[in-house]
Structure 1
Amino acid sequence: MSYNYLPLDRSPLSFDQVKNLLEYSQDVSITFDAHERITKCRSYLNQLLEKSDQLYYGINTGFGFLQDVAISNEQIEQLQANLLMSHACGLGEEVPKPIVKLMLALKIKSLSYGYSGVQIDTVKRLMDMHNNNVLPVIYTQGSLGASGDLAPLSHMSLPLIGLGEVWYGDAKMKTGEAWAKKGWEPIHLQSKEGLALINGTQFMTAYGMYSLVKAARLIQWANLITAISFDAFDCTTEPFHEKIQEIRPHAGQIATAAMIRNYIAGSELAAAQKKQVQDPYSFRCVPQVHGATKDAFEYVKQVFLQEINSVTDNPNIFPDEGLVLSGGNFHGQPLALTLDFLSIAMSELANISERRIYQLISGQRGLPLFLVTDPGLHSGFMIPQYTAAGIVSENKQLCTPASVDSISSSNNQEDHVSMGANAATKCLRIIDNVEKVLAIELLSAVQALEFRRPLKSSNIVEQVVAAFRKEVSFNTEDRVLHDDMVKAGAFLSRSVEECNIPASDNLSKFE
């Protein structure tokens, strides 16, 4: 399949498809099957409303606590527009554009199943917005993660009716201005469409999938950086022996140990005689700690893949069975719990990384104090560890679970909420922080490794070090280390593969 196109229908999306959607800026389109299911559901709903005076939640009634208020057929379009306008109550920072774009794709995916009652023109316009990079301005605050992500999805949907703001290229403007440039007309929403658009978990899932894609990269980098630190600190290979992993066979632990063994294979430093019997936990227990994070990641990934391949609005329409059913598929509890889990698991990568940084600068194992040749006159790498410690502490504070909280809303009709949206935004903040700490470890480990010369590490490690040295030079005397840390962070934004590690050495085979 071309990297430039992703079909959306009942077929499940995979993790790699979402990753490619983010990395290659693919266009999306529903398939013929999805088109037929959407139009069939819409036709059934139209016929139902023509033949019956029965009240259906959100279709011909008010919303939330106003569920018993009947709405006439003449007022239904106004009802849908009112819903979007009244619920667009987001505040805070703007949602990053890649996540906005992913929200659009995941909403289209959910609607493609044909259980939501939307008209095909609405779905087409969502595709137009995604594929033309006309991206709604959405805010991070406002969702309780229960009746769907009401506020953010309302901001996402306002442009459909010509309201709100969008990013058109690099310019932010009123939707009407952008629509005029594109020659688009506002959509006239039909019954149920407002709810179909703003009920759903696409804010939480877009943040979650974006975070998972980034987490996958950082887990691999954490293991590779550990290998550099391992040789820089002159550690023993014993803790990574296969036999140790076999008698406590957690999948992540086994995979992590195999990765580290692979990364340091052929290292002169690793093969050298050691004076110590054991190393500190931050080196010795990497298979157990990093491995547990990997296992948590795999669990969270499966939950999110289930969610993005589901229908999460309300009510749901089943044309073949002749049913319109109200339920709670929009409730974000599965996501809130797992986002908190991912936050905790990823924060531990930074936690143990900071400890390795501390060991590297402590003047042990023949390394100079603070990794500088003239400590005293020069502070060397003293303060990057402070920065890492502060970030790690911030992550610990951010890891307080959002999912244990709930605040009643809508006059106590919506009396238990997931707070999954808060879990989602702070999870990404934590993962961004993990990247910063790993960047500081990379900076420190490569500096420390230079003091082991002329002995060399493995081919893999030396390739990474050589690539990094093209960005950041060896530190001979004090300079503005902020600049070096920023460059190290940018280096980690690459995939491990971009460091020209041969495919046979790539650790994806252990996943």
Structure 2
Amino acid sequence: MIILTGNSLTLEQMKEVLYRGQKVGASEQSMEAAAKSREAVERIVSERRVVYGINTGFGKFSDVLIDKEHVQDLQLNLIRSHACGVGEPFPEVVSKAMVVLRANALLKGYSGIRPVVIERLIELANKDIIPVIPQQGSLGASGDLAPLSHLALVVVGEGEVFYKGERVEAGIALQQEGLFPLTLEAKEGLALINGTQAMTAMGVVGYLEAEQLAFESELIASMTIEGLNGILDAFAEEVQVARGYQQQIDTAARIRRYLSDSLLTTMQGELRVQDAYSLRCIPQVQGASWQALDYVKEKLEIEMNAATDNPLIFDDGEKVISGGNFHGQPIAFAMDFMKIAVAELANISERRVERLVNPQLSDLPPFLSPQPGLQSGAMIMQYAAAALVSENKTLAHPASVDSIPSSANQEDHVSMGTIASRHAHQIIQNTRRVLAIEMICAMQAVEYRGVEKMATHTKNFYEKGREQVASIKQDRIFSKDIERLAEWLKTVEFSQFMKKLSFEK
């Protein structure tokens, strides 16, 4: 079980929860901190102190005082009115991540929410009662208000959930699990929705996929190097050390390890003096993507353990401060950076595909066709890769440079971080398909060169790949091959396979 404290959650732990069925619990100390914070809210209500979000309206209505007898109505009205999400729902794994991250943030003890509400979030995650949360509608400041409102609806027994493979009313799923809807008290609705958990959850899932994809890209590129009789000298350690970037050094080291006993690679001057950049500069380009991903990882792990609602309660309620921790700018920048980093993996991969299929760039059969002319082979696979790469370039435009004022100009600068995280996720899916295309072409190329001459690691990889996609003996519907291989690249099975190949940085 992963114990949430509000301070120590990691991406590796999130992977355990989201993909390996690990349950979550709350530390006693954190629950005590939450209870203490709740006591402060109840004192504020009983003393009739005027505090934003506890007994006032929200946003531009912050100066409107609310009578004590209407405090519960205030919270429910807040949740219902803010549940304005539209479009397709987030993937279930993202919504589950949102629930876990919101519970973790509330456990920091600055939000004034009752422990029973945190317990309910943990129960939702552990019982896989996953809120249906529309993807569109968040500006990424004032928190992810619309998405988190759809999450909060489930706590009060409203809205919809994914449960046991079906999309059902939340009340039905709660009833089947012996749970009852909660009535939100002062500040609790605001505490549930005022945070960055939608963009952060999408970022967590995106990062975990992107990290695996980056490792996969190096192994796929290694097979391409063999298919093109690539020159290994450019990957020499002293070349990488001379520049000094650790991620570049590590990328080159992994490729050298993958190709250590290959009979298909060459040395400079043996067939040609140097390779094109899409081969020779793999450590520099993909190492730079790793630099960006390392930055993203650092920011996500900070945000996963951050108090991002408003107001925050300090000193047993003596200080209740309205700040701006809900503003998603740090994650917006990180997501835009991840978009660029992953898009670049696709850019350079597509250029390697072109070298594999273009008869003017290698001595391989044109388009890797078994009967050039009669059969087109991989010709249109390169088209598909080019289309995906072009789409990525549009999606990679930074969302964080935009801002549209809201709430009658009270909220006059927003991050658009949730849009950035959604676009990053789309880029990752596109890039995986581009890499699947490269892998299909690379497997075909090494067959022409001689599979028996491959390195041990890449040959093992080739054999696993051939279990998914057969050799091209005749033209067929390659769309199915691309999708099948892309799905395989995403699986846990492949992650375990990579670990056997020293799948660590």
The corresponding residue for 1:149 is 144
Deviation track 1:116-153 (CA, whole Å, cap 9, x = no partner) reads 00011111111111111111111001100000000000
Q: How does 1:416-431 map to 2 (within 5 A)?
A: 416-431=413-428
1:176, distance to aligned residue in structure 2 (A): 2.5
The corresponding residue for 2:388 is 391
1:28 lines up with 2:28 in the alignment: no
Give yes or no for contact 2:199–2:421 (8 Å, CA) kept in 1: yes
The corresponding residue for 2:107 is 112
Q: 1:432 to 1:77 in 2, by over 3 A?
A: same
The corresponding residue for 2:299 is 303
1:446 lines up with 2:443 in the alignment: yes
The corresponding residue for 1:477 is 474
| Counterpart secondary structure, 2:327 | coil
Give yes or no for contact 1:220–1:496 (8 Å, CA) kept in 2: no
1:506 lines up with 2:467 in the alignment: no
Q: Distance in 2 between matches of 1:498 and 1:95?
A: 23
Deviation track 1:447-470 (CA, whole Å, cap 9, x = no partner) reads 111000165121000000011112
The corresponding residue for 1:37 is 33
The corresponding residue for 1:57 is 52
| Counterpart secondary structure, 1:267 | coil
| Counterpart secondary structure, 1:7 | strand
Q: Distance in 2 between matches of 1:122 and 1:175?
A: 16
Q: 1:264 to 1:133 in 2, by over 3 A?
A: same
Q: Which consecutive residues of structure 2, in runs of 5 or more, have no partner in the other structure?
A: none
Q: 1:458 aligns with which of 455, 460, 480?
A: 455
1:191 lines up with 2:191 in the alignment: no
Give yes or no for contact 1:471–1:487 (8 Å, CA) kept in 2: yes
Cα RMSD (Å):
1.5
1:279 lines up with 2:287 in the alignment: no
Q: Distance in 1 between matches of 2:499 and 2:108?
A: 41
Q: How does 1:490-505 map to 2 (within 5 A)?
A: 490-494=487-491, 500=497, 503=500, 505=501
The corresponding residue for 1:354 is 350
Q: Distance in 2 between matches of 1:31 and 1:446?
A: 50
Percent of counterpart pairs with the same letter? 43
| Counterpart secondary structure, 1:258 | helix
Deviation track 1:155-198 (CA, whole Å, cap 9, x = no partner) reads 00011112111222122222222333233222111111011000
Q: Distance in 2 between matches of 1:90 and 1:501?
A: 38
Deviation track 1:210-251 (CA, whole Å, cap 9, x = no partner) reads 000001100000000000000101111111011111111112
Q: How does 1:109-508 map to 2 (within 5 A)?
A: 109-271=104-266, 274-320=270-316, 322-363=318-359, 364-453=361-450, 456-494=453-491, 500=497, 503=500, 505-508=501-504
Q: Distance in 1 between matches of 2:440 and 2:223?
A: 10
Q: Distance in 2 between matches of 1:454 and 1:137?
A: 47
Q: Distance in 2 between matches of 1:367 and 1:54?
A: 78
The corresponding residue for 1:95 is 90
Q: Distance in 2 between matches of 1:502 and 1:431?
A: 21
Q: Which consecutive residues of structure 1, in runs of 5 or more, have no partner in the other structure?
A: none
* Structure 1 stretch displaced more, 240-249 or 448-457: 448-457
1:491, distance to aligned residue in structure 2 (A): 2.3
The amino acid across from 1:57 in the alignment is: Y
The amino acid across from 1:477 in the alignment is: Q
Report the TM-score when normalising by structure 2. Answer: 0.97
Q: Distance in 2 between matches of 1:23 and 1:180?
A: 26
Q: Distance in 1 between matches of 2:253 and 2:34?
A: 48
Q: 1:10 to 1:198 in 2, by over 3 A?
A: closer
Give yes or no for contact 1:145–1:331 (8 Å, CA) kept in 2: yes
1:502, distance to aligned residue in structure 2 (A): 7.2
Paired positions, count: 503
